Every structure is written in C-alpha cells, then in structure tokens.
Amino acid sequence: MISGEDEGLLGSDYAIRELISAKKIKLAAPVKDTASGKMKTVEYEVEGPIALLFSTTQPGIHYENATRCFTLSLDESPDQTQQVHNAQSVGRTLEGLSNAGQSRDIRQLHRNIQRLLKPVRVVNPYATFLTFPVNRLEYRREYEKYLSLIEAVAFLRQYHKEVKKFAYEGGELEYIEVGIEDVEEGNKLMTGILGARASEISRPSGELLRLIKQMAEEKAKELEIEPKAYRFNRRDIREYTGWSDNQIKAHIGQLEELEYLLTGKGERGRMYRYELAFDGLETDKKRLPGLTDIAKLQAKVGKLGMVGNGWAAQKEGGPRRGAGSKVG
C-alpha cells in the first residue's frame, strides 16, 4: 500500500496495523438479506501482511505506526536544497532530457533484477547470538524488524549463497543461510535508521537544534555570557538559519516537548522567548548501544565451530541453530 501523505491513512490506521502485525483482519458489517429483506451480520476476513509506504512533512508520525515501520528522514539542509535546485535546473536542459532516458533505463534494470529473485526460506544460524538494546519498550518490535532486515539482506544476496536442503514433513525444503556479512550490513542499516533517532528527536529537528546551539554559542560569545543564558525568538532562528517559518514551527514544537528548549514570555508578554536546556548535543552521531558487536560475534561462533555462512556440521534433518523465515 502506498500513500503520498500520511493523511491518506486516516480512518484506516487500525486496519493497516492489524494487517502488518496479526497478518489478517476480520470485520463484521450489517448487510440486507436479498431473500428475506432483513438485516444480517456478515463477517469479512482479509489476509495480510501488507507492505506500507507513506510520507509526511510532520516531524513525527503516529507512535503505533512508527513501531511497525522503518522511519527514514530526509536531509533538509540548505546544501541539499541547493542540490535539488541544481537537478531541477538541469532537468530543463538538453542534458536533462538525456538523463531522463537513462533514469528510465536504470529503473527498468532494477525491476528486472527484482524479477530474478526467487522465493526461498532464509535461515539465520546466528540469531540466538544477536544482541539488541532493551532499555525501551518499543525495542521489542524494533528487534523483530532488525531480524527481518538481516534476512532481507541475505535474500537479496541469494545468488551468492549455497542453496541447502533438509527433510521436512516427507519432503525437502530449500533454504539459504544468513552470513556474518549480512549481519554486519544489517547493523549498518539499523544504526542509520534507528540510531538517527536514538536521541528521541527526528533528523530535521536535530538539525534545527544543532543550528540553534551554534547560534546561541556565537551570540553568547559576542555578549560575553553563557550560551544557556542567551534568549531568542523564532525570528532570530529564522534570520540565522534561513529556514522558513513553517519549517521552524514544525520542528521547534518537538524540541519544546522533549525539553531541549525552554520557553518563557518576552518583554511584550505575548512574544515567546526561548533558551537552551541542554549542555551538549550529538545529533549528528549515529549510535545504537547494545547492537551486536561483529568482532565479538565472530569470536563466539568461531569457538562453537561455525564457519562461513553457518555451522561446520549440520544435524540430521535441518539447521542446528537459527531462525528461519520465507522471504519472497
């Protein structure tokens, strides 16, 4: 399911979440019996799961939706805006017409590559050795997404892996195994996705906070005061950052709510003045403490006799350890 904006999901949020988590949804609706003319209740069942993709300009999305999806933030910096402008300008030139044709060819190539991928089960022999942060309740779902992400990486690399078989219910099941390199790639992706918001704020809000801190330090130095003693309003932020008022309104609310900024009434009573409410900032540094350490994982599985993409020896009837799922 694809929605251009999250508002397109209004009224269907619950149903979508059920299809993602429970893999199906049952709905009861009253309908008129054509034979008797009386109303009766009919139950409908829709099978899932579904793939969901949507965008929003809001600094955050619905909490229950966020725990079921990967949240990616766009770069809202002036440098990125300049690159967008450059691409838009080139698109109006003869070079742009040529690039448009090349873009279509590249998209078609990617679609053709995806068609080559075969449905196959993915077994993760390292699953029981993986670690993940546990200090937040939502990490219960994030860990499931982490495991799925590693399996997706292995699935995309299926042509670089040996297809193995094991006896199952009178037949044979084919599967491929997750390798250390797939776990490592999953770590990078998960840190980039989840680590970017490990400080509780979205990437654009974090960028605004970084610029506000930079402004406060510069102004405080001029006034010979501490940065936390410097007071400012939205106009000061707008003039310093070059951001639009709508951008600032969208993200400054999150900084207030999470107490990165404190607010108070200004001299005129109605004008809000802000002050910094923190001593340091690491919004640019992406970290996810508690995630599997690859070096330690390699050392541990080496002692247990695991080599390459799995165990050196398999028990009769299937994989000795790990979690398996069908992808495709």
User: What pLDDT, in 10s, does the model give residues 106-165?
Assistant: 999 999 999 999 999 999 999 999 999 887 788 888 899 899 999 999 999 999 999 999
Considering the entire predicted model, what is its pTM?
0.61
What's the number of CA atoms in the CB half-sphere (13 Å) around residue 188? 6
State the average pLDDT for the chain: 80
Distance from C-alpha of 204 to C-alpha of 71, rounded to nearest angstrom: 13
**CB 152 within 8 Å of CB 141:** no
Q: What per-residue confidence (pLDDT) applies to 317?
A: 43
pLDDT reading at 198 higher than 60: no
| Amino acid at residue number 313 | A
Nearest to 260 by CA among 191, 177, 199: 199
DSSP code of residue 224: T
Which residues face 168 on adjacent strands? 171
Least confident of 91-95, 169-173, 201-205, 294-298: 201-205
**CB 164 within 8 Å of CB 176:** yes
For residue 125, whether the previous peptide bond is cis, meaning omega lies within 30 degrees of 0, is no
Q: Where does the chain hold its CATH 1.10.10.10 domain(s)?
A: 203-276
* Angle, helix 78-90 to helix 94-116, in steps of 10 degrees: 100
Q: Which CATH number fits domain 203-276: 3.40.225.10, 1.10.10.10, 1.10.760.10, 3.20.20.370?
A: 1.10.10.10
Q: What per-residue confidence (pLDDT) applies to 274?
A: 87
Distance from C-alpha of 103 to C-alpha of 83, rounded to nearest angstrom: 17
User: What pLDDT, in 10s, does the model give residues 81-115?
Assistant: 899 999 999 988 988 888 888 888 999 999 999 99
